[in-house]
Amino acid sequence: MSVPTNLKYSKSHEWVKSEADGTVTVGITHHAQELLGDMVFVELPEVGRELKQKEECAVAESVKAAADVYSPISGEVIAVNSPLVDEPGKINEDAFSAWLFKLKTKQCC
């Protein structure tokens, strides 16, 4: 696994990727999944929800603990990675591919 260089990170261990179309994709970092251990449950925000920066919007639970996921940026949820709900272990396999949700945002990042 290599750590991508085109990402930004939040203090609460989310990664943020700016897409070419102006949207952003959000996931949790490799380091976060390593701290948590095997993931067993993911709860994603509803599409259409307006999120403020630092708002709790998803939950990632491992065998060990539950971790709240905070939106690193304000915006509207335009997509969620629903297959993760049935296969939370994908986050352990590759945290940077296993995105959680995409936002349409007004501010620039």
Which spans of this chain sit near other proteins (rule: CB under 8 A)?
37-38, 40-41, 43, 59, 61, 63-64, 66, 85, 89, 92
Q: How far is the CB of 33 from other proteins (least distance, A)?
A: 12
Q: How far is the CB of 63 from other proteins (least distance, A)?
A: 5
DSSP letter string, 37-100: -SEEEEE-PPTT-EE-TT-EEEEEEESS-EEEEE-SS-EEEEEE-THHHH-TTHHHH-TTTS--
Q: How far is the CB of 81 from other proteins (least distance, A)?
A: 16
